[in-house]
A and B are shown apart, each in its own frame.
Chain A
Amino acid sequence: GAGVSQSPSNKVTEKGKDVELRCDPISGHTALYWYRQRLGQGLEFLIYFQGNSAPDKSGLPSDRFSAERTGESVSTLTIQRTQQEDSAVYLCASSSTYLAGGPGETQYFGPGTRLLVL
């Protein structure tokens, strides 16, 4: 079946503009994650959604970052007033179960959106 998809694949924007990134998780996956990966760096957790529960926003770096998800469908990550430091690949992942510190579930990653802020 289809995997996680993200759009756009690439985005170039000017400093100060807002951008919106989209993630379509695997159908039926209740959990959805956003990560940021700066060039040559590891993955940085941003936000986690599980069904209709309140999201875990503990990884969002500033109030310029926000994300929404309706139910178990598409999610959008919005960055307001972009800064050059926001340039990175933004990865979305989904998994089929709530983790809750248990054995865990594989996260399936999308191809990412490469964001360049000029």
Chain B
Amino acid sequence: GQQVMQIPQYQHVQEGEDFTTYCNSSTTLSNIQWYKQRPGGHPVFLIQLVKSGEVKKQKRLTFQFGEAKKNSSLHITATQTTDVGTYFCAGFNRLGTALIFGKGTTLSVSS
């Protein structure tokens, strides 16, 4: 079945360092979404990428969608303690009825 994989599973950085999480799908995606889940919270939508090769920025966050629309990445520049949480990528199933989530990358930041 369709799978969405994320690496790394965990990442610890010092405050101010950069962070990147990678997302790979076993199938071509029509689009991809990224969510952030704070500890003890629920997933919150960050962004959606639709076009091949698309790059979007939100302040210190940069999102990329691969040319083949099978992979994506989230890069955080100069991490802050407020960036702590688990970042999930998600792609739609073949029917387009549900998002298939990756297992997430949990980021911890020490000051």
Contact = CB atoms under 8 A, between A and B. Distances in A.
Interface residues of B, number: 26
The DSSP consensus for interface residues of chain B is loop
Contact of A50 (B33, B93, B97): B97
B92 interface: yes
B102 interface: yes
Interface in B17-63: 30-31, 33, 41-45, 48, 50
The DSSP consensus for interface residues of chain A is loop
Contact of B42 (A100, A101, A106, A111): A111
Contact of A110 (B42, B94, B96, B102): B42
A116 B75 CA distance: 35
A104 B101 contact: no
Given A42-B104, A91-B42, A112-B42, A104 B48 contact: yes
A91 B43 contact: yes
A70 to B, nearest CB: 19
Interface residues of A, number: 25
Nearest to A6: B42
Interface of A: 33, 35, 41-45, 48, 50, 56, 59, 91, 99-104, 106-112
Nearest 8 CB-CB pairings of A with B: A101-B96, A42-B103, A43-B101, A109-B42, A100-B96, A99-B96, A45-B98, A106-B45
